[in-house]
Each structure stands twice: as C-alpha cells, then as structure tokens.
C-alpha cells in the first residue's frame, strides 16, 4: 500500500425521502440566493422539481434557475452558469441530476468566484481555484459518482478537448434511490457500466499486488454486476437500484483509491472520443475496455487473473495465469453483450470518417497504466473498436 492521506468532506444523505428529511436543515445554513441547476427537464416530468421547489420556498430562498445542462457539459455552458451566478449574487448552488449537471456546477462554483479563465488557469498555468460558491447535489441519475469528488469532465469545443477540471466539493449529496427509478433503462445500463469501469480503472493501477483497497474494490465490482443483472430482470427492483446507486458513489468517493495510483487510460481515450463525437460515455467505455485490455494483457495478467477468479467466479483449477487473464476479458465482453451495450463504434452510430488519429494524438497518456501506450497503439485500439 502506498503512503496516503484520506479526508472526505461530503456529507451523504442516503435513502427514502432523503431530500424531505435533510434538505431543510442544509438550506438553513446557506445564504438567500440559490441557483437551482438541472438538465433537460426530466425532473419536471418525474416530480422531483416540484418537491425541491417547494422545499426551497418553505426555506424562504430566492431561486434562480439554470437549466439545459447537456449530457457532455461544455465549457461555454460553464461560463453561462458562472455569469448567471454573478449577476444574481448566488450564495448557494443546488445541482439536481446526474454526473453532467453535477460536474458542470463544480466548475461554475469556482469560475463565478474568479475573473481568471479557469481552463487557462488549470491547464496552462497549472494553478488552482481558491474561491467557491457552496453547493449541494441531489442525484437523480447514477453512474459517474460525480457528487463524491471535486473533479469535473468538461468539453472545450473550441479546443476539441474533453478533459478534467477541478472545482469545489459538494457540502452534501442527497441519494434517494426512488429519484432514479424513472431513469431510461439505457441510461441505467450505461451508468452502471461507467461505475464498473471506475472500479476497474482504479483496480488496474498500482500497487499491483493484493491490497485492502483492491479487495474492497472487488466487492464493489461484484455488487454492480449482480445488481445490474437483477435490474435487467426487474427494472422496478428498488433494492437493486439502491445498491447500484451506492456502488457508483463508492467508485468515486476515494475509498477504493486509498494507497493507489490509478490507471484510467480507457477513460482518457473515451473522453477524447467524446470530444470529437459527443457520444454516450458509458457506451464508449463498453466498446473500448475489452479491446484495450487485450492490448494490456501481457503486463496486466496477474491483476486480470485475480479479477477472473475473485469477481467473475472463474474456476482457476488447471488454468495458467494467462488463461485466467483471457477468461476475465471474455467474461467482461460477455457481460457487455448480456447488458445490451454496444461492442463497436458503428453500433453507437459513430461516423466511419471520424478522425481517430486526432483522437489518439490528443488522448492523455496516464502514468498509472501498467502498459505505457504509444499514440500509434492507441490508434490501433480505436481502429479495432470500429
């Protein structure tokens, strides 16, 4: 286990009627002017909007709405939100939705409190924001675990880059499984795979020997697999949905990363694919992971073999380490098909003339990956995914 410091600043309210029980207490701690941020309006159709607006009114807050946050939030949308926050002297941001809304607001929180361009500050000058508007999150779509950390994935359309920016931690997060029951099944599936991917990407980092963080991680992976299968059998199984909601949060609250240098090469590759195609994140990961893992196998065999046995239940008797490693990738690929996720970019509707070389050439090469990929190797992975 590597040396680490662990501190977790987000208060999590999990369970039935978590907003009704806990939001009034939290709102009493914040200022008068609240920004209510959300996406395309699904919260108005499922009743969440009305419930939260009522709680805000009872708390006596002045509400400014910021809607239309897209599934791959853009830097332009961040700037729009920051301007709105400044103009209305926003004291507190309540982000309601999934990872896109929650990520976007992290950066709005920071950008609204500085005149510096946050993208330039963080990616060019290598600085960090120091002032933030306080925030709370209400999760209505799970998968990213975005409410658990201060990292945000933002698409800079001008620069053709989809990458991380760092903003504020949420003061609290409300996770009510009932709020996720109206998610489209395609979103449940892709979100669940994103959560599984977070676990695998953390697991595949270093140290590569057996350690406590990875053993907890294995349990999270088993949980996601089991409960996505239960959800596919019965989409209204709220117990399975509860487990998926918390497993997604566990993937990104830092617990699995304690003492780890993470991998996340698959995520970096998918992010740039998203920058060029605006594709669904979880689906892109489902296509990329098995192909990338075949390329990683010579270096990753010991970890893949453990995953085969400890997560996927492969019988190790009579099998070599390499055979077990291949069995892991086979099991993962089979699960992707079982869940109805795409296995090629063509199935995702990604155009055949997509500039895959540009994607490979602009992908971040992660230090934690056990294989040190070249740009040409990443291009080969992308071409195999077509």
pLDDT, tens digit, for every residue of 13-58?
Answer: 999 999 999 999 999 999 999 999 999 989 999 999 999 999 999 9
Assign 7 a pLDDT band (cuts: 50, 70, 90).
Answer: confident
Residues 6+ apart with CB under 8 A from 144: 98, 99, 102, 103, 191, 194, 195, 248, 252
pLDDT value at 1 more than 80: no
33 by DSSP, 3-state: which?
strand
pLDDT value at 194 more than 80: yes
Q: Quick one: 372 exposed, middle or buried, by C-beta within 10 A (0-12, 13-18, 19+)?
A: exposed
- Domain residue ranges of the chain, discontinuous segments joined by +: 11-180, 191-384
pLDDT, tens digit, for every residue of 65-81?
Answer: 999 999 999 999 999 99
**Average pLDDT across the chain, whole number:** 97
C-alpha angle 77-164-129 in degrees, rounded to nearest 5: 80
pLDDT, tens digit, for every residue of 106-133?
Answer: 999 999 999 999 999 999 999 999 999 9
Assign 6 a pLDDT band (cuts: 50, 70, 90).
Answer: confident
In the chain, what percentage of residues exceed pLDDT 90? Answer: 97
Per-residue pLDDT, 2: 81
Same fold for the domain at 11-180 and the one at 191-384? no
Strands 11-14 and 172-175: parallel
Number of H helices, E strands in the chain: 15, 8
Per-residue pLDDT, 24: 98
pLDDT value at 4 more than 90: no
CATH superfamily, domain at 191-384: Dehydroquinate synthase-like - alpha domain (1.20.1090.10)
Residues 6+ apart with CB under 8 A from 98: 39, 139, 140, 141, 142, 143, 144, 146, 187, 191
Q: Which tokens hold the place of 295?
A: 């390329």
Mean pLDDT of 229-244: 98
Distance CA 170, CA 37 (A): 14
pLDDT, tens digit, for every residue of 173-188?
Answer: 999 999 999 999 999 9
Mean pLDDT of 215-234: 98
pLDDT, tens digit, for every residue of 354-384?
Answer: 999 999 999 999 999 999 999 999 999 999 9
Distance CA 27, CA 55 (A): 9
Per-residue pLDDT, 39: 96
Distance CA 82, CA 108 (A): 5
Distance CA 118, CA 123 (A): 8
pLDDT, tens digit, for every residue of 278-297?
Answer: 999 999 999 999 999 999 99
Distance CA 209, CA 215 (A): 11
Which phi-psi region, left, alpha or beta, contains residue 327 (left: φ > 0; alpha: ψ -120 to 50)? alpha
- Structurally, at CATH architecture level, domain 11-180 sits in 3-Layer(aba) Sandwich (3.40)
> Hey, how many other C-beta atoms are within 10 angstroms of the C-beta on 17?
12
136 by DSSP, 3-state: which?
strand
C-alpha angle 331-334-335 in degrees, rounded to nearest 5: 85
Per-residue pLDDT, 64: 98
């Amino acid at each position: 286990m590597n040396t680490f410091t662990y501190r977790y600043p987000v208060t999590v309210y999990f369970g039935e009627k978590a907003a009704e029980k806990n939001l009034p207490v939290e709102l009493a701690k914040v200022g008068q002017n609240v920004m209510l941020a959300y996406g395309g309006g699904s919260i108005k159709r499922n009743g969440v909007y009305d419930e939260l607006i009522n709680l805000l009114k009872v708390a006596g807050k002045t509400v400014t709405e910021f809607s239309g946050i897209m599934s791959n939030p853009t830097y332009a949308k961040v700037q729009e939100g920051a301007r709105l926050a400044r103009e209305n002297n926003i004291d507190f941001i309540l982000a309601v939705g999934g990872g896109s809304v929650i990520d976007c607001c992290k950066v709005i929180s920071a950008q609204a409190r500085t005149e510096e361009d946050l993208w330039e500050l963080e990616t060019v000058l290598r600085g960090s924001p120091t002032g933030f508007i306080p925030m709370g999150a209400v999760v209505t779509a799970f998968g990213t675990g975005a409410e658990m950390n201060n990292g945000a994935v933002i698409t800079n359309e001008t620069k053709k880059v989809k990458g991380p920016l760092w903003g504020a931690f949420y003061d609290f997060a409300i996770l009510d499984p009932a709020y996720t029951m109206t998610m489209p099944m395609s979103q449940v599936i892709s979100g669940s795979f994103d959560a599984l991917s977070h676990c695998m990407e953390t697991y595949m980092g270093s140290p590569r020997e057996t350690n406590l963080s990875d053993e907890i991680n294995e349990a999270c992976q088993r949980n996601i697999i089991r409960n996505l299968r239960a959800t596919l059998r019965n989409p209204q199984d709220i117990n399975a949905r509860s487990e998926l909601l918390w497993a997604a949060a566990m993937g990104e609250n830092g617990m699995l990363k304690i003492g780890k240098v993470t991998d996340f090469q698959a995520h970096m590759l998918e992010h740039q694919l998203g920058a060029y195609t605006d594709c669904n994140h979880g689906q892109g990961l489902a296509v990329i992971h098995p192909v990338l893992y075949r390329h990683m196998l010579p270096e990753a065999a010991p970890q893949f073999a453990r995953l085969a046995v400890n997560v996927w239940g492969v019988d190790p008797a009579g099998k070599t380490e390499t055979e077990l490693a291949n069995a892991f990738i086979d099991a993962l690929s089979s699960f992707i098909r079982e869940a109805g996720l795409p296995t090629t970019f063509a199935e995702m509707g990604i155009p055949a003339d997509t500039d895959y070389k540009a994607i490979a050439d602009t992908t971040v090469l992660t230090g934690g990956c056990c294989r040190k990929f070249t740009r040409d190797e990443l291009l080969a992975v992308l071409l195999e995914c077509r």
